[in-house]
Amino acid sequence: MAAPRLALISKKIIKPSSPTPLSHRIQKLSLFDQLNPCSYMSLALFYPKQCNSTLPFEPSHISTLLENSLSRALTSYYPLAGTIRDGLHVECNDVGAEFLEAQIDCPMSEIFKHGSAEAEDLVFPAGVPWTPSKENLVVAQLNRFKCGGIAISACVSHKIVDGSSMGDFITHWSAMARNPCSPVPSFQFVGGSIFPPTSGHIAEAILNSKTRGNHHCITRKYLFSRSKINSLKAMIATELRTQSSNNIDPTSVEAASSFVYKCIASNSPRPSVFTQSVNLRPVMKKMLPQEFQGNASFLFMAPQIEDPKEIKLHRLISELRKEKEMYFSQDWREPKDLVSAMFEKVMSLQNQLERDDEDVDVYKCTSLSKFRFCDMDYGWGSPRRVCLGSVPINKKIMLMDNQNGDGLEVLVSLKEEDMSALETNSELLQFASPSLGL
């Protein structure tokens, strides 16, 4: 079958249903917001045609439902309807979100017949995911397939949200679609006052170092079933017993991410560093209101490994845990103390990232596991599949729960020659399989 084609039907600007109060007009960014790019994070939810839904599935109804509910959601999540004014502020000026509608000339199942993320990218607004923008901080697209199914994709500015906050926003949007009278959470965007931003030139240097060495990349998806993850954990435990007296029980994310890193790094003769983005909300829970929204994640890194053949999974996991424990074990009572510690970490992180693609390979891992994207119900039940799309960041590893919640889906983004080596890696294929089909 020929490659699926998309025809754009409409493009609108959706404004908040109520204007943002003048008192909320200027939103100060936090340190954690500041250290993230203005690019869009992306998520797509696939819903097959419903024959027994309590809500109509006609095209005009779906469009109206999504537009109206998005408008209401933006009223509560007002920074996403604004404009990034500079490196320190968001102007909550109700510019609104873009909402596109498109027709795809194939059944939904067709685009899942390949193991790449590129086919699935068709459901995202063209050229939007992971590109920088300072206005229209939400771009959403409703896609209709020939089979009658739909896909709802959302691209949301990483400058305003991380994975956790993006999940909160889409959950709120879907709740508004199911029931316009749903309770409205008291979202609070107070990160800028609790964790003040640092000077602009330092933040800019860090952002530049984060994308250092990016190339045209290929993204592939691999599925780790629950049984394979358990086997992987058992392998790590055996490795540990033969080389150490310490005990370690790796989480599923630790086991899968460190294993994928090892499989990739083993194809390179250069030293490597493994970094992992970690949700800091447990560390900051005494400082943050319950409905806090914004970025609250940070990169932690394991020590550099000189020889790829010397990568030991139990040691890698232990080293990363030690790194995180330095922050998670302390009883942080004052935001300024945590900011001071994080700022020191920022500087060392910048120095390490700047070396990427010069004399060391830096692998960046992000986990979106446990954020329950699979539960996003707009009125037609849970999505059949959730996709993140391809990631144009070299040496990037992303994880999320699979559709049944009993395994992990791992996205890997690499240069073409590195991906070719990974795709034939017998050790990887012993535990993971290309993610195909609905």
Q: Which residues pair with 400 in a beta bridge?
A: 409
Q: What is the C-alpha to C-alpha distance for residues 205 and 35, in angstroms, rounded to an integer? A: 10
Using CA atoms in the order 163, 38, 321, 305, what is the torsion angle rounded to 10 degrees? Answer: 130
Query: Would you call 117 helix, strand, or coil by DSSP?
Result: coil
168 vs 145, 186, 377, 396, CA distance in Å?
A: 27, 12, 13, 24
Nearest to 373 by CA among 71, 164, 67: 164
Question: DSSP for 34-96?
Answer: HTS-SBEEEEEEEEPPPSS-SS---HHHHHHHHHHHHHHHHHHTGGGGSEE-SSSEEE-----
Beta-carbon contacts of 289 under 8 Å, excluding residues fewer than 6 positions away, are: 188, 190
Q: What is the C-alpha to C-alpha distance for residues 412 and 390, in angstroms, rounded to an integer? A: 9
Catalytic one of 33, 121, 158, 172: 158
**Beta strands 361-367 and 396-401, pairing class:** parallel
Phi-psi category of residue 73: left, alpha or beta, with phi > 0 → left and psi -120 to 50 → alpha:
alpha
| Cα atoms found within 13 Å of the Cα of residue 41, Cβ hemisphere only | 21
Whether 187 and 76 have beta carbons less than 8 Å apart is answered as yes
What is the separation of C-alpha 149 from the centre of its chain, rounded to a whole number of angstroms?
25
Whether 41 and 161 have beta carbons less than 8 Å apart is answered as yes
Q: Which two tokens mark 404?
A: 């049944």
Active-site annotation holds for 314: no
Q: What is the C-alpha to C-alpha distance for residues 267 and 128, in angstroms, rounded to an integer? A: 32
Active-site annotation holds for 377: yes
Catalytic one of 94, 357, 375, 377: 377
Name the phi and psi angles at 414, rounded to 5: -145, 165
From the CB of residue 418, how many other CB atoms can be counted at a distance below 10 Å? 20
Residues involved in catalysis: 158, 377
